[in-house]
């Protein structure tokens, strides 16, 4: 019998969803954000008429004994991704903006991996999977994956970590993450990394995902597995979006607020394998799709419409200047007047063009998306739809993260974007979960003596 799964720092359930699909029973979970707990309990428990498995709480104030009752003789695997805000570049920048004393190494979230380890040892976990951003390897003087690995080794685990790109596992997004995996030595063998299912055949994307990280000197670092060479190419934005409903065809379209639970019909039948997976994750085909909300960026719809795929904020600013000049010819306002300034403000974004270059980007439908982040909760300028003049919808963000179409976000739009941006892509998690499952199945089948 497979070990049960304890899901720490669960977010809205991306990692747990992958393990559930691989056949694991999610025994319990802990998450601090109430909206995320509501999301994960609906999608992983209530939809199956089961009691909620995830609880809302502060892990630093909790004891592993409180969830032992949910684990049987088969033992458990502890999975999770301790918060990355103290490690990530975006998170560090946010802290600096709050004051000189708010440096990332003083952020208590950067030390929550210690509670992660506390639960592993308190539950005597048979195996461990931890996910985090690559920047966790440089937390002041600390390499967090190395520290966690060293502690696990001292407690009897065979352990390693590496950096994997979710695009290599069928996710339409370039998303590199540290993956740490460990198994008790008395289990008889180590877990093997999942082999890539997709490969970069898109020369225009460059070498993303094949960068040298200079981790070879790290004691517990393991080189990621290389594709065999006959895998299908990376899944693109176009592959992810092409069957979804048209929501805002032109900049002159009327904006309508759309509740997250309102379902729209698909634009077409599934056009590729990825869309089939997204529609059939839970076993029954999804006939309509929810999560079609997107932001009302009235000032910028005209700019979005003139941007080409791949354009950034510099090009958007040039377009805004053109739109202003065209409007000025019509209204003939004189420079410096209130009317002139009001017109300029209504058309031209005020952000610094030197420091804001990469903050806007129009997606290229022939490539995977760049990394989604939780900042989507604030705005969606970082991910502008490739063919419609708007930011991506909640469902489109979910598609880029490989959340299935029947995964519901019973919350506000901003909360949904935040949950999606913070999540582990479920399809990526599924590949990892299958690798863990293989180790335990082989042991049960007698391959391990």
Per-residue model confidence (pLDDT) at position 369:
98
Per-residue model confidence (pLDDT) at position 355:
81
Per-residue model confidence (pLDDT) at position 208:
45
84 φ, ψ (degrees, to nearest 5) = -100, 0
133 φ, ψ (degrees, to nearest 5) = -80, 155
Q: Is residue 306 part of a domain?
A: no
Q: Is residue 13 part of a domain?
A: yes
Q: Is residue 101 part of a domain?
A: yes
Please write the tens of the pLDDT for every residue from 27-52.
999 999 999 999 999 999 999 999 99
Per-residue model confidence (pLDDT) at position 205:
52
Q: Is residue 85 part of a domain?
A: yes
Count, residues in the chain: 449
Q: Is residue 342 part of a domain?
A: no
Per-residue model confidence (pLDDT) at position 415:
97
Name the nearest CA neighbour of 79 among 157, 160, 8: 8
Residue with tokens 């909790």: 62
Q: Is residue 247 part of a domain?
A: no
Whether the CB-CB separation of 80 and 9 falls below 8 Å is answered with: yes
Please write the tens of the pLDDT for every residue from 318-362.
999 999 999 999 999 999 999 999 999 999 998 888 888 889 999
Q: What angle do CA 396, 402, 408 make, to 5 degrees?
A: 70
Structural domain harbouring 130: 4-232+424-443
Per-residue model confidence (pLDDT) at position 141:
81
Residues with Cβ within 8 Å of residue 67, at least 6 apart in sequence:
6, 27, 28, 30, 123
Say which of 12, 76, 84, 411 is annotated catalytic: 84
Supply 144's token pair: 């967090």
CB contact burial 92-116 (16+ within 10 A = b; e otherwise): beebeeeeeeeebeebebbebbebb
Please write the tens of the pLDDT for every residue from 250-288.
999 999 999 999 999 999 999 999 999 999 999 999 999
Residue 222 falls in the annotated catalytic set: no
Number of domains comprising the chain? 1
CATH number at residue 222: 3.40.50.150
Per-residue model confidence (pLDDT) at position 88:
54
Q: Is residue 223 part of a domain?
A: yes
Q: Is residue 257 part of a domain?
A: no
Per-residue model confidence (pLDDT) at position 447:
45
Whether the CB-CB separation of 28 and 440 falls below 8 Å is answered with: no
Per-residue model confidence (pLDDT) at position 449:
35
Supply 123's token pair: 């539950």
- Where the chain has pLDDT below 50, the residues are 91-92, 95-96, 98, 103-104, 204, 206-212, 447-449
Supply 310's token pair: 């791949």
């Amino acid at each position: 019998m497979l070990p049960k799964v304890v899901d720490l720092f669960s977010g809205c359930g991306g990692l747990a969803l992958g393990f559930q699909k691989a056949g694991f029973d999610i025994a319990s979970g802990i998450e601090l954000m109430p909206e995320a707990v509501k999301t994960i309990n609906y999608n992983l428990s209530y939809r199956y008429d089961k009691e909620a498995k995830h609880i809302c709480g502060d892990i630093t104030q909790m004891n592993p004994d409180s969830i032992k009752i949910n684990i049987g003789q088969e033992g458990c695997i502890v999975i999770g991704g301790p918060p990355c805000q103290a490690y990530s570049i975006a998170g560090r920048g946010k802290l600096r903006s709050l004051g000189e004393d708010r440096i990332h190494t003083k952020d208590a979230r950067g030390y929550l991996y210690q509670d992660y380890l506390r639960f592993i040892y308190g539950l005597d976990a048979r195996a461990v999977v931890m996910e985090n951003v690559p920047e966790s390897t440089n937390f002041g003087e600390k390499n967090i994956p190395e520290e966690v690995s060293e502690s696990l080794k001292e407690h009897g685990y065979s352990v390693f970590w590496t950096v994997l790109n979710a695009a290599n596992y069928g996710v339409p997004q370039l998303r590199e993450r540290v993956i740490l995996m460990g198994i008790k030595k008395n289990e008889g063998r180590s877990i093997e990394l999942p082999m890539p299912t997709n490969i970069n055949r898109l020369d225009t994307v460059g070498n993303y995902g094949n960068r040298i990280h200079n981790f070879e000197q790290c004691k517990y670092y393991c080189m990621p597995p290389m594709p065999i060479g006959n895998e299908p190419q990376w899944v693109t934005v176009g592959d992810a979006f092409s069957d979804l409903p048209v929501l805002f065809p032109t900049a002159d379209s009327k904006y309508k607020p759309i509740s997250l639970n309102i379902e729209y019909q698909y634009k077409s039948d599934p056009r590729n394998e990825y869309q089939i997976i997204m529609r059939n994750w839970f076993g029954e085909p999804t006939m309509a799709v929810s999560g079609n909300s997107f932001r009302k960026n009235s000032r910028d719809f005209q700019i979005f419409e003139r941007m080409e795929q791949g354009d950034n904020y510099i090009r958007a600013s040039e377009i805004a200047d053109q739109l202003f000049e065209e409007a000025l010819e019509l209204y003939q306002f004189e420079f410096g007047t209130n009317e002139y300034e009001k017109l300029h403000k209504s058309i031209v974004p005020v952000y610094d063009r030197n420091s804001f270059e990469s903050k806007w980007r129009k997606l290229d439908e022939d490539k995977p998306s760049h990394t989604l982040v939780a900042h989507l909760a604030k705005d969606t300028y970082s991910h502008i739809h490739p063919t419609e003049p708007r930011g991506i919808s909640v469902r489109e963000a979910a598609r880029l993260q490989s959340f299935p179409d029947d995964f519901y976000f019973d919350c506000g739009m901003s909360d949904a974007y935040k949950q999606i941006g913070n999540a582990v892509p479920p399809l990526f998690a599924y590949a990892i979960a299958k690798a863990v499952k293989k180790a335990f199945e082989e042991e049960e089948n007698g391959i391990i003596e």
